Amino acid sequence: MEPSSILFTVQPVCHTVSASSVVLSSVVSETCRLSSCPRATSFSQTVPVSAATMSGKKVTTEYLHKTFLDPNVGMVGTTKAYDDLAEDYNKIVSGFQYKAPLRVVEALTSAIGDRNRSEMKIMDLGCGTGLVGEALYAAGFTQLDGLDPSQGMLDVAKSKGIYGELLCAYVALGDEKLAIPDNTYDGLTICGSMGVNMVPPEGIYEMHRLVKPGGVIVNVVRQETVNEIEGFKDRLEPMMQQMEADGKWKLVSRVLFPDYLVDQGGVIFTHQVC
């Protein structure tokens, strides 16, 4: 099927669009009907933003804030919202030029050098429906586990057949540790899961615990979260810097990139565990 003939319906989405058009692009999933290839392929097509609707209505900033980013909604409310949209999530983000998963792979491959990717055990934290996992798998990281608080999203991720273990859990919920031993993974990725109603800044301690000395942690955060969001803007980076001062890890790179989404930038933090 040629991209110009693609028909899709966009359901509730947790990001807003301000441009007059977006580029329809996707890291392909097994549920995608646009290709018979179950693994690594991509497509792109410019479509009007007016096509990004939810139940016949344009997605608004007010709706997004109330549903996902309002602190009063809380973790449980946000998780329920992701459960409700899980089956349509990949179609949703494909309409908003979601480049972050590819940036994760670029950062991880750069940080590990010539290490054998297929021998590295990777935790995809906040894995959702498996978009980052698909990109990692296609790049040769075939030993993948995933974690997410939304069982609905995990069910979609499981259907892709790329993960070993999938754990449904919250991260940094008080003093509670995840049911995973220390130093389990050679690498850990987390993409867009640090923010209001999701993983708090304290989550970096648990990420560090899970990764072996010499392992790599790639953390992609929305630039807005780093610079503007209360509870993150004055805490996340100072906490990262304190961990480095304490000899827990060292910063490999901090990279700004403009295309987390069509109208949002991101920050990629890459650390090596000491």
Closest CA to 273 of 112, 129, 104, 102: 112
Helix axes 151-159, 74-85, angle to 10 degrees: 40
Q: How far apart are CA 189 and CA 245, in angstroms?
A: 22
Instruction: Dump pLDDT digits (tens) for 180-225.
Output: 999 999 999 999 999 999 999 999 999 999 999 999 999 999 998 9
Q: How far apart are CA 185 and CA 202, in angstroms?
A: 19
Q: How far apart are CA 167 and CA 126, in angstroms?
A: 10
- Give the per-residue pLDDT at 72: 78
**Burial zone of 76 (CB within 10 Å; 0-12 exposed, 13-18 middle, 19+ buried):** exposed
Q: How confident is the model at residue 21 (pLDDT cuts 50, 70, 90)?
A: very low
- Give the per-residue pLDDT at 259: 83
- The residue with tokens 């054998």 is 116
* Whether the predicted pLDDT of 248 surpasses 60: yes
Q: How far apart are CA 144 and CA 188, in angstroms?
A: 10
Secondary structure class of 234 (helix, strand, coil): coil
* Whether the predicted pLDDT of 130 surpasses 90: yes
Q: What is the pTM of this model?
A: 0.78
Residues, the chain, total? Answer: 274
Q: How confident is the model at residue 67 (pLDDT cuts 50, 70, 90)?
A: low
Secondary structure class of 177 (helix, strand, coil): coil
* Whether the predicted pLDDT of 244 surpasses 70: yes
Query: What pairs with residue 46 in β-bridges?
Result: 23
69-78, 157-166, 195-204, 264-273: least confident range: 69-78
What is the share, in percent, of the chain residues with pLDDT greater than 90? 58
Q: How far apart are CA 3 and CA 25, in angstroms?
A: 10
Average pLDDT, the chain: 79
Domains of the chain: residue spans and CATH: 3-94 (no CATH), 100-273 (3.40.50.150)
Instruction: Dump pLDDT digits (tens) for 87-107.
Output: 877 877 766 667 899 999 999
Q: How confident is the model at residue 64 (pLDDT cuts 50, 70, 90)?
A: low
- Give the per-residue pLDDT at 11: 33
Output 32-35 pairs: Cβ under 8 A, ≥24 positions apart.
32/90, 34/1, 34/3, 34/6
